């Protein structure tokens, strides 16, 4: 059977790293099995769903390189939900309720006060047809609950958490439809997972108790449930689900210079026992993707790790890959010289500026100015070649007796305006003879 996975965001906001990780894992799981990955837009909530978020979700996934094999929208599937709902009604698996939130809260408090679990008491099941008719003529529309089968223990083997047991007698019948006819998430999701042939639902562990309820929904719908796996949630480096993490999305990361490949490499392996490896592409990550490598402990997302991985991704980037994003005129030799110094690709422009000038240099003391003046003369007398840095420093070492930092640092500062940077042996040929002489002369002026 072809593996079918899905990512089912509600378009009520932007995706954050936690959602992106879930999307990525579902894509990798499908890819691993040569299956299909669906994007399902859970937009039953007309008030809160926004088209701009649907577009942002698509764009964010595309930026990551996660390409769905199909896209579905719940707002286009209301007929299907009505039909399934009618069947559940006929089978007596959904029932009408009228309690207000205040009444429900009171019931909860009474139960808790008696030391009992706050399970819905099914009072509405006792209503007669005459009661319902009276409610209707008073203009009171019902909301609907799904009737759990309290005699059937709920069990499944979770792909990450192992064997799971839930006692439906300890659960409240969930509300599946509001009085205005709108749907809550749970039933449409089960209907869709079944209708779309979803074989594997991989989502956050905050959904475990929903799964317990949905297991019975699948049975009530005459469908066999998909396999379920629930991954531990993402926490920040400080070990908590921080506010920052809850809102950290692709825009912020992209502005910070993060490459999609770096984010994919990190998120793919976060929460697993597999090491993060910046050198792995999506194919390799999919090939090694394995739910049994996931742990139960919260997965720590550390932005510093991400920046470290990003640097590794940039350091491995070929000129052809980087070229479209490099400053005009920057060639392969320049890319190869500058690349090892980059944490983010955007910094290439700064180093290219160092090559082409103008640069700012520090003021040098008299001694250093004399040394740099000699350096200018030496450089003018040397044959200009790819070895010119070696020749220049070799000659100056002999003529001045300087070595180490005393020899190299003033030259680097005068030629680049910086204390550190790419190898001078590579930079000097890029700067060029005339410009290099001009800089040395300027330093001694």
Residues of this chain that bind ligand GLU (CB under 6 A): 8-10, 42, 185, 189, 203, 207
Which residues are CB-neighbours of 262 under 8 A, at least 6 positions away? 278, 306, 309, 310, 312, 313
| Residue-by-residue DSSP string for 247-312 | H--HHHHHHTT--HHHHHHHHHHTTBSSPP-TT--HHHHHHH--GGGB-SSPEEE-HHHHHHHHHH
- Least separation in angstroms between CB 260 and ligand GLU: 22
Residues with Cβ within 8 Å of 438's Cβ and at least 6 positions away in sequence, in order, are none
> How far apart (Å, rounded) are the C-alpha atoms in residues 232 and 2?
26
Q: What is the CA radius of gyration of the chain?
A: 32
N- to C-terminal Cα distance for the chain?
78
> Alpha helix (H) ranges present in 65-124?
78-90, 101-113
Q: How many residues does the chain have?
A: 445
Of 46 and 328, nearer to ligand GLU (C-beta) is 46
Q: Which long-range contacts (CB under 8 A, 24 or more apart) does 384-388 make?
A: 384/433, 386/429, 387/425, 388/428, 388/429
Q: Which is nearer to ligand GLU, 81 or 352 (CB)?
A: 81
Q: Which of residues 8 and 278 has its CB atom nearest to ligand GLU in the complex? A: 8
Decide whether 230 or 439 has the Cβ nearer to ligand GLU.
230
Compare residues 159 and 422 and give the one whose CB is closer to ligand GLU. 159
Q: 18 or 417: whose CB is closer to ligand GLU? A: 18
From the CB of 255, what's the least distance to ligand GLU, in Å? 25
Structure tokens at 140: 């009171």
Q: What minimum distance in Å lies between the beta carbon of 231 and ligand GLU?
A: 11
Pick the closer one to ligand GLU by CB: 44 or 413.
44
Q: Distance (Å, rounded) from C-alpha 398 to C-alpha 401?
A: 6
Q: Which stretch of DSSP H or E encloses residue 249?
A: none
Taking the least distance from each CB to ligand GLU, the nearer of 17 and 265 is 17
Task: Give me the least distance between CB of 204 and ligand GLU, in Å please.
Answer: 8
In the complex, the smallest distance separating the C-beta of residue 184 from ligand GLU, rounded to whole angstroms, is 11
Backbone angles phi, psi at 267, to 5 degrees: -65, -35
Distance of CA 107 to the CA centre of its chain: 41
Q: Could you give the 3-state DSSP secondary structure of residue 89?
A: helix
Q: List, in sequence order, the alpha helices (H) in 182-249.
A: 186-195, 208-220, 243-247
Q: How far apart are CA 408 and CA 396, in angstroms?
A: 10
Query: Would you say 9 or 271 has its CB closer to ligand GLU?
Result: 9
The residue among 18 and 410 lying less far from ligand GLU, judged by its C-beta, is 18
Q: Which residues pair with 202 in a beta bridge?
A: 229
Shortest reach from residue 163's CB to ligand GLU, in Å: 21
Show Cβ contacts of residue 293 under 8 Å, excluding neighbours closer than 6 positions. 272, 273, 274
In the bound state, the residue with its beta carbon closest to ligand GLU is 42
Strand, helix or coil at 14?
Answer: coil
Where does 240-367 show beta strands of DSSP type E?
Answer: 299-301
Q: Residue 43 or 303: which CB sits closer to ligand GLU?
A: 43
* Nearest distance, CB of residue 110 and ligand GLU, angstroms: 31
Give me 212's structure tokens: 């317990």
Minimum CB–partner distance for residue 12 and ligand GLU (Å): 9
The distance of closest approach from Cβ of residue 207 to ligand GLU in the complex, given in angstroms and rounded to an integer, is 6
Q: CB 73 → ligand GLU: shortest distance, Å?
A: 12
- List the one residue out of 159, 146, 225 whose CA is nearest residue 185: 146
| Least distance to ligand GLU, CB of residue 296, Å | 19
């Amino acid at each position: 059977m072809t593996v079918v996975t899905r990512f089912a965001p509600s378009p009520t906001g932007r995706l954050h790293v936690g959602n992106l990780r879930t999307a990525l894992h579902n894509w990798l799981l499908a890819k691993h099995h040569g299956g299909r990955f669906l994007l399902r837009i859970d937009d039953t909530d007309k008030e809160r769903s926004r088209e701009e978020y649907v577009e942002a979700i698509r764009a964010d996934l595309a930026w990551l390189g996660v390409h769905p094999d199909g896209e579905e929208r719940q707002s286009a599937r209301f007929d299907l939900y009505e039909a399934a709902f009618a069947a559940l009604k006929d089978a007596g698996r959904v029932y009408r309720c009228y309690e207000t939130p205040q009444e429900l809260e009171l019931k909860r408090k009474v139960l808790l006060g008696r030391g009992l679990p706050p399970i819905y008491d099914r009072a509405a099941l006792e209503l007669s047809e005459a009661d319902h008719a009276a409610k209707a003529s008073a203009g009171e529309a019902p909301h609907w609950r799904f009737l759990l089968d309290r005699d059937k223990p709920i069990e499944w083997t979770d792909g990450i958490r192992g064997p799971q047991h839930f006692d439906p007698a300890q659960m409240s019948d969930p509300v599946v439809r509001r009085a205005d006819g709108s749907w809550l998430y749970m039933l449409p999701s089960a209907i869709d997972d079944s209708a779309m042939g979803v074989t594997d639902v991989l989502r956050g562990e905050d959904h475990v108790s929903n799964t317990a309820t949905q297991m019975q929904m699948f049975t009530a719908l005459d469908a066999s449930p998909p396999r379920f796996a629930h991954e531990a949630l993402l926490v920040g480096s400080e070990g908590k689900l921080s506010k920052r993490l809850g809102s950290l999305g692709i825009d912020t990361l992209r502005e910070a210079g993060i490459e999609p490949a770096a984010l994919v490499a990190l998120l793919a392996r976060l929460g697993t026992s597999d090491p993060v490896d910046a050198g792995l592409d999506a194919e390799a990550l999919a090939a090694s993707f394995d739910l049994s490598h996931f742990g139960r402990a919260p997965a720590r997302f550390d932005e510093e790790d991400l920046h470290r991985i990003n640097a590794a991704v940039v350091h491995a980037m070929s000129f052809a890959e980087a070229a479209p994003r490099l400053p005009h005129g920057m060639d392969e030799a320049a890319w190869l010289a500058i690349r090892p110094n980059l944490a983010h690709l955007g910094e290439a422009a700064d180093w290219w500026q160092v090559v082409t000038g103008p640069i700012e240099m520090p003021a040098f003391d008299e001694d250093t100015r004399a040394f740099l003046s000699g350096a200018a003369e030496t450089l003018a007398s040397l044959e200009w070649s790819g070895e010119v840095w070696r020749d220049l420093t070799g000659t100056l070492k002999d003529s001045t007796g300087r070595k180490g930092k005393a020899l190299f640092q003033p030259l680097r500062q005068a030629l680049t305006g910086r204390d550190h940077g790419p190898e001078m042996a590579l930079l000097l040929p890029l700067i060029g003879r005339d410009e290099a002489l001009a800089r040395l002369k300027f330093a001694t002026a």
